Amino acid sequence: MPLITIASLSSYNIDYVIVGGGTAGLTLAARLTENSDVVVLVIEAGLYHGPLPEIDTPGYIGRTIANPKFDWTFVSVPQVHANGRSILQPRGKGLGGSSMNNFLGVFRPHRDEVDAIQNLGNSGWNWDSFLYYVKKSETMLPSTLSSIDAKKYAADPDPEFHGIDGPIKKSFSVIFGEMQAKFFDAVENLGIPRNPDPSNGRNTGSMTPFMSVDSNTAKRSYSVSGYLEPNLGRKNLLVLPETYVTKVLFEDDQGSLIRASGVKFSNNGAVSTVSVNREVILAAGSLQTPQILELSGIGNAQILSKHGIKTLVDLPGVGENLQDHVGVSNVAEVETQDETMDVLQDPAAVERHEELYKQRTGLFANVPPGGFVFIPRKLVGLENVIDMSTSDMTENRVSRSGFEKQYEVLRNLFSDEEHPQAEFILYPGHQPLPYSVPEIGKQYATLTCDILHPLSRGTVHIASADPLVPPAIDPRYFENEIDLEQLARVVDLALTVYHTSPFKEHVKSIKVPSEDVRGRGLEGLKEYIKENCGSFYHPIGTAAMLPRSDGGVVDPSLQVYGTKNLRIVDLSILPLGVCSHTLTVAYAIGEKGADIIKMGQV
């Protein structure tokens, strides 16, 4: 049994310490312990929750968000360009990390942007490698759709691009609706075709995505169920939950490269340490990995000295380069024969669907039947981005050269009119929103919009030398005004969808944004966005895999610059955002990271 206590820790000889038992961390731990000669310790600050409806039941998605039992519920610093609002930044609190809390979508980025990561100085980090590792992580379960319906709902996968025996199960929804099909027809009439299998690296278009749901059990498939629980019998896999790592420890006798000797941690107020024979690996995610680095003396010397922390490695890129998808929702009242999520306001309907769930069907057995659209650049505009000079985008940055190279990549991506730059998500019902309240007995559709390649760059830095104080998270939403312009155009396009046949046959009226906001055109939509926007929970980039001279924190082997045996294996290493949700990328990083480390064991 790998779940251990502090008291028993001293009896083990630890080869690898993994800090963070989340999506990538548990993937890495499971793969490393395939070698029975190594002992791996995973230290996780949250609980091992075990089987719980809030986590396992697909139709309960969202219930763990902002719940302090499951979510660290971080908030950003006030966002200057979003009316001074502090914006929620959820992160999974417990074994499984954010794979425990996410909204279950299984998406992949565009192959061109993955290849661009290699072109930024990261040999081997390309589309072919990504495809190999993401397939290794997954099992595609069979669809029940007929060939006609597979085309109708844009859910016709090519087996060549999907895994068959990986730990994470993925399946299609068990419910499809006519409103969803008409939504796809409407966006097709606007120039966005169906994409029956976006997993091939060309993800522009409308689609029904796979969900990380095991259709055999109608439960969430995530890093705990896929990578941890099947391996509980391994004697060389140890997990220490409810334990907060406060810093990485280093040997006193240092040469040009410092060597990690272990970690310091806190458990119920008691402070202790554990030594490591081989490596310390940070997998705490984009918001907490940079915090641990800085607390350990690795980061921008000016920031560290401000908090009285001795600088061991002056690495200014730590905590910089934060990128996140930002978006906003709009809602319309609709009329449809489909059963929307609004029906669950009726206790009798809830009881009925709870009974259906026992048969692995109904609204709780899957994510609500909606639709996703990845919108090509040609429908968003952005010609001004292609023409903008790099100097306009790189003011006051740690590494001007690094950002210049990023923006050159983005200009190339934006020059392709078919490359996806934004997203629609159709939710069949009134999504829970702080700025709109549904009326009981009515039906709604929520169309959420986000941008996928923001030009703004934020930061995550320690706010205190106290490791229990959350980091200062500053996404700097809309610092580059083009991001706001782009999102306003995407919302305007969404409003056009409501008036486009055949989807418009379902739409009775637009609820939000209000008629007054809509009447003021793009300027009104910009104000609506600034007052109501939120994170899409996809932060990346804060320990970027780039050359050190470009603001990098790790090299292509995921080794932290200036160290011998400290690596990072999580989404913080991505130097550039991707036009997809990030779950599959995290699994692929965990899988590839494990192989990189195993190669060093030979």
What single string gives the DSSP state of each residue in 475-492?
--TTSSHHHHHHHHHHHH
pLDDT at residue number 393: 52
pLDDT tens for residues 60-110?
A: 999 999 999 999 999 999 999 999 999 999 999 999 999 999 999 999 999
Q: How many CB atoms lie within 10 A of CB 86?
A: 13
Q: How far apart are CA 493 and CA 508, in angstroms?
A: 18
Which ranges constitute the DSSP H helices of 61-120?
A: 111-119
Residues 6+ apart with CB under 8 A from 142: none
Contact 163, 357 (CB under 8 A): no
What is the DSSP code string of 382-397? -HHHHH--GGGT-TT-
What is the pLDDT confidence band of residue 402, given thresholds at 50, 70 and 90?
confident
Segment holding 461, helix H or strand E? strand 459-461
**DSSP line for 304-332:** HHHTTPPPSEE-TTTT--BB--EEEEEEE
| Least confident stretch, 163-167, 347-351, 368-372, 478-482 | 368-372
Please report which confidence band the pLDDT of residue 401 belongs to, taking 50, 70 and 90 as the band edges: confident
List beta partners, residue 149: none
Consecutive H or E run containing 141: none
Domain residue limits, the chain:
6-51+225-319+542-599, 104-129+142-218+323-535
d(CA 186, CA 197): 19
- Say how many C-beta atoms besides its own lie within 10 A of residue 325's C-beta: 24
Residue type, 210: F
Token pair of 288, please? 């907490």
* pLDDT of 381: 76
Alpha helix (H) ranges present in 338-399? 347-357, 383-387
Among 325, 328, 324, smallest CA distance to 488 is for 328
Can you read off the two tokens belonging to residue 233?
């019998």
> Does pTM top 0.95 for this prediction?
yes
Output the CA–CA distances (angstroms, integers) from residue 41 to 3, 196, 251, in the order listed. 10, 42, 20
Confidence at residue 386, expressed as pLDDT on a 0 to 100 scale: 56
Phi and psi angles of residue 163, each rounded to the nearest 5 degrees, phi first: -75, 155
Is 390 a residue whose pLDDT tops 60? no
Residue 602 pLDDT > 50: no
Per-residue pLDDT tens digits for 247-298: 999 998 667 899 999 999 999 888 999 999 999 999 999 999 999 999 999 9
Domain 104-129+142-218+323-535, what fold? Glucose Oxidase; domain 3 (3.30.560)
pLDDT at 120: 96
Q: Judge whether residue 398 has pLDDT over 70.
A: no
CATH 1.10.3720.10 fits 6-51+225-319+542-599, yes or no: no
In this predicted structure, what is the pLDDT of residue 497?
98
Reported as a pLDDT band with limits 50, 70 and 90, residue 392 is low
Element counts in the chain: helices (H) and strands (E): 17, 27
Active site residue 538: yes
Rg over alpha carbons for the chain, rounded to the nearest Å, is 23
Tokens encoding 338: 């489909």
> Do the domains 6-51+225-319+542-599 and 104-129+142-218+323-535 sit in the same CATH topology, yes or no?
no
Question: Residue 600 has what pLDDT?
Answer: 79
The token pair that represents 420 in the structure block: 């996806």
pLDDT higher than 50, residue 185: yes
7-54 pLDDT, tens digit each:
899 899 999 999 999 999 999 999 999 999 999 999 999 999 999 999
In tens, the pLDDT along 234-249 reads: 999 999 999 999 999 9
Closest to 132 in 3D by CA, of 597, 600, 568, 587: 587
Encode pLDDT of 486-532 as tens digits.
999 999 999 999 999 999 999 999 999 999 999 999 999 999 999 99
Which of 100, 111, 113 shows the shortest CA–CA distance to 55?
100
Return the sign of the alpha-carbon dihedral for residues 527, 530, 535, 538.
positive
* Contact present, 561 and 313 (Cβ < 8 Å): yes
Check whether 174 has a pLDDT greater than 90.
no
Does residue 581 carry a catalytic annotation?
A: yes
Please write the tens of the pLDDT for every residue from 325-378: 999 999 999 999 999 999 999 999 999 999 999 999 999 998 776 899 999 999
The string of pLDDT tens digits covering residues 418-471 is 999 999 999 999 999 999 999 999 999 999 999 999 999 999 999 999 999 999
SS3 call for 402: helix
When comparing pLDDT for 406 and 293, which is higher? 293
Do 26 and 281 meet the contact criterion of CB atoms below 8 Å apart?
Answer: no
**Cα 515 to Cα 434: distance, rounded to the nearest angstrom:** 18
User: For residue 384, is pLDDT > 70?
Assistant: no
Annotated binding site for FAD: 245
pLDDT number for residue 7 = 87
- 106 with 169: CB under 8 angstroms? no
